[in-house]
Amino acid sequence: MDTKKIKKMLIISLGFLIFILAIIISIKKVEQNKINKITNIVENQEDSNDYGTVIVNNLRGIDDNDVVLGNKKASVDIVVYEDLSDSYSVRFNETLNQINETFGNNVVVAFRPYASKMYPLSMPTYSFVDCAKEQGKFFEARDLILSEVENKKLAEENFIQYGQNLELNSESLKVCLSKQKYIPEIEKLSKEGENFGVFGSPTIFVNNELVIGARSFDDVENGNGEKLVGMKRIISKYISK
């Protein structure tokens, strides 16, 4: 191999290493920005409690733009940011069912997307559910999707079939999905959530109290023997006020 070819290969290799390094630095900056946002939320909170969570004072309250389940005049507002393509949303949905059975008209639940292009099914899945909402079947579509995720069968190529199972108008669904009608709104809401400390799915707010992850209904202990307060106790303290 002549000297020119060796130099060319070295230059290419060096360029590739610089490219990789730039990506790593970029990722670290993004992660640091997320940490800084969370830190600001914690430092600027006016209230705290003994539940290991924080109060997010700037959270957008439940409004007419939200899909809600329950009594809008309830004493407890619950906002759920979720990625319907992941198993954690399935797990937390079991908790939500227990919340609705236990607290009934005392709670209202609003559902918002936290979707990411990093995960292939994240945006398309919530897009499908929003397209189903056009035809009055948001909750039916959400339940179907979560069932498919639980059974490890979720597939974008099956969305039209899912629509047929839900008795949606197939042509309207195809147009809605092909035009990616709701993707900009999903991106906007997901980005908005980050202003409130949402950086993973699910993230829950109970009267502005931030609860991260698929929290169980009852208190549990984690692998380190530390007690994790369940949603039942978190919600109950607001109802008793």
**Each residue of 97-120: pLDDT tens digit?**
999 999 999 999 999 999 999 999
User: What pLDDT does residue 37 have?
Assistant: 47
Give the list of residues 6+ apart from residue 174 with CB closer than 8 angstroms, or none.
Answer: 160
Tell me how far CA of residue 192 lies from CA of 2, 114, 120, 187, in angstroms. Answer: 56, 9, 21, 8
Contact 114, 192 (CB under 8 A): no
- The pLDDT > 70 percentage for the chain reads 77
* Residue 27 pLDDT exceeds 80: no
Residues 226, 208, 184, 124: is their CA dihedral positive or negative? positive
User: What pLDDT does residue 75 have?
Assistant: 93
User: What pLDDT does residue 227 have?
Assistant: 84
Give the list of residues 6+ apart from residue 170 with CB closer than 8 angstroms, or none.
Answer: 160, 163, 164
User: What pLDDT does residue 90 have?
Assistant: 96
Q: Of 66, 44, 45, 40, nearest to 55 (Cα)?
A: 45
Over residues 182-224, the pLDDT tens digits come to: 999 999 999 999 999 999 999 999 999 999 999 999 998 877 7
Residues 129, 210, 66, 73: is their CA dihedral positive or negative? positive
Q: pLDDT class for 28, splitting at 50, 70, 90?
A: very low
User: What pLDDT does residue 143 have?
Assistant: 98
Tell me how far CA of residue 161 lies from CA of 155, 171, 214, in angstroms. Answer: 10, 12, 29
